[in-house]
């Protein structure tokens, strides 16, 4: 292996403050097989329109991948712990047996030397576990190429209501990620394609601005907590609330729309089990209108809304935010 190739397979170990502790030489990884990414699928919505199905719009698939990644991390950690424990106990037991039940300092030193010569496999397991952790951490990084940034920002308001299918049997008022395509369809129909496209452009601009201030490294939590994102979602919440002027009729429409676009519980099977109910919709909207509800409690903000949107609109916003309360 030449010097350049050898350098490419070094592992760098960092201190807690980010400084480099030391380098370790690793075994060259096998060349991964490159699989071409599939073209985005397009499916028909219940209304007849076409909805592009990106990976982010398939929560069932994303959840399976997340579960696999979590299991991989656990397995790597378990393998590492088991390897260290087994090796230590094996050396200790063998030495005690060999010496008739006693150990000297020389015995301990000898065991340390033997352990050091056999630590390669444990090191490989450790490095693999670290790599798995880094990959999981990087999934939370915001990618400028990733689409549907606006949708992701809007989902953040109620994402703590998502749970697994087993829990939904006992708590059907919570949410399954299988309802997200229907929710995106609801947003598209309320805003219309041109306005939705403008919201997406504005969301990307927010991410771009925040990325410049973070040396290129940006995580979703930074986006959700930013003033710019909160202003964007507040405007979107106002638009959504205005569509709920006829609250009960619009609520029934939302439930029907989301259920008609529900991702099947399993690929190739009709959707079964949990359905999006009025109770689930009310909980979602109560969480979704969090920014708007807080704004309506401030008299100066209410007056600003009245000046910009009109008194009738403020009355609608007030009624909607009071109808959907956590």
Give pLDDT, residue 77: 60
In a domain, 118, yes or no: yes
* Lowest model confidence (mean pLDDT) among 27-41, 71-85, 209-223, 232-246: 27-41
Residue length of the chain:
326
In the predicted model, is pLDDT for residue 121 greater than 50?
Answer: yes
Query: Which segment, 73-77, 123-127, 166-170, 214-218, is predicted with the most confidence on average?
Result: 166-170
Give pLDDT, residue 62: 53
Triad 273, 277, 280: Cα angle to 5°: 105
Long-range contacts of 301-310 (CB under 8 A, 24+ apart): 305/238, 309/238
Last-in-domain residue among 114, 139, 164: 139
Mean pLDDT (whole number) for 128-147 = 48
Q: Is the pTM of this model over 0.85?
A: no
Give pLDDT, residue 246: 94
Residue 273 region by backbone torsions, left for phi larger than 0, else alpha for psi between -120 and 50, else beta:
left
Residue 131 sits in the same domain as residue 161: no
Residue 134 sits in the same domain as residue 169: no
Residue 90 sits in the same domain as residue 195: no
- Between 322 and 268, residue with greater pLDDT: 322
For the chain, the first-to-last Cα distance in angstroms comes to 63
In the numeric block, which tokens belong to residue 295? 């704004």
Residue 127 sits in the same domain as residue 253: no
Tell me the C-alpha distance between 325 and 296, whole Å.
13
In the numeric block, which tokens belong to residue 110? 């000898």
Residue 97 region by backbone torsions, left for phi larger than 0, else alpha for psi between -120 and 50, else beta:
alpha
In the predicted model, is pLDDT for residue 118 greater than 70?
Answer: no
Q: What is the pLDDT of residues 238-254, one digit of tens each?
A: 999 999 999 999 999 99
**What percent of the chain is helix, strand and coil (3-state, nearest 5)?**
65, 5, 25
Closest CA to 278 of 257, 260, 258, 251: 251
Give pLDDT, residue 205: 92
Q: What is the pLDDT of residues 299-314, one digit of tens each?
A: 999 999 999 999 999 9
- The fraction of the chain above a pLDDT of 90, given in percent, is 42
Q: What is the pLDDT of residues 193-218, one digit of tens each?
A: 999 999 999 999 999 888 887 776 78
In the predicted model, is pLDDT for residue 273 greater than 90?
Answer: no
Give pLDDT, residue 83: 67
Give pLDDT, residue 317: 96
In the predicted model, is pLDDT for residue 146 greater than 50?
Answer: no
Residue 296 sits in the same domain as residue 191: yes
Residue 282 sits in the same domain as residue 318: yes
Tell me the C-alpha distance between 229 and 203, whole Å.
7
Residue 70 sits in the same domain as residue 162: no
Q: Which domain holds residue 198?
A: 149-323
In a domain, 64, yes or no: yes
């Amino acid at each position: 292996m030449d010097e350049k190739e050898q350098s490419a397979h070094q592992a760098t170990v960092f201190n807690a403050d980010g400084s480099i502790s030391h380098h370790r030489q690793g075994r060259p990884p096998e060349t991964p097989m490159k699989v071409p990414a599939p073209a985005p699928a397009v499916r028909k919505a219940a209304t007849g329109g076409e909805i592009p199905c990106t990976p982010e719009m398939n929560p069932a698939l994303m959840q399976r991948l997340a579960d696999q990644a979590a299991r991989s991390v656990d397995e790597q950690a378990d393998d590492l712990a088991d390897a260290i424990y087994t090796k230590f106990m094996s050396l200790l037991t063998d030495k005690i047996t060999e010496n008739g039940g006693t150990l000297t300092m020389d015995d301990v030193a000898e065991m340390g030397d033997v352990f050091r010569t056999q630590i390669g496999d444990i090191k490989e397991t450790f490095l693999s576990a670290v790599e798995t952790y880094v990959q999981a951490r990087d999934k939370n990084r915001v990618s400028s190429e990733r689409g549907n940034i606006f949708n992701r920002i809007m989902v953040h308001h109620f994402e703590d209501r998502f749970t697994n299918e087993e829990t939904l049997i006992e708590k059907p008022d919570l949410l399954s990620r299988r309802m997200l395509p229907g929710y995106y369809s609801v947003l598209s129909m309320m805003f219309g394609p041109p306005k939705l496209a403008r919201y997406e452009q504005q969301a990307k601009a927010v991410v771009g601005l925040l990325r410049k201030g973070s040396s290129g490294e940006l995580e979703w939590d930074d986006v959700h907590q930013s003033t710019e994102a909160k202003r964007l979602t507040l405007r979107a919440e106002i638009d959504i609330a205005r569509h709920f002027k006829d609250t009960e009729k619009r609520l029934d429409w939302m439930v029907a729309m989301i259920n008609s676009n529900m991702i099947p519980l399993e690929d190739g099977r009709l959707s079964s089990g949990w359905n999006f109910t009025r109770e689930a919709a009310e909980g979602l909207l109560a969480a979704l209108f969090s920014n708007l509800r807080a704004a309506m409690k401030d008299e100066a903000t209410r007056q600003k809304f009245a000046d910009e949107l009109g008194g009738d609109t403020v009355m609608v916003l007030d009624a909607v935010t009071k109808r959907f309360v956590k």
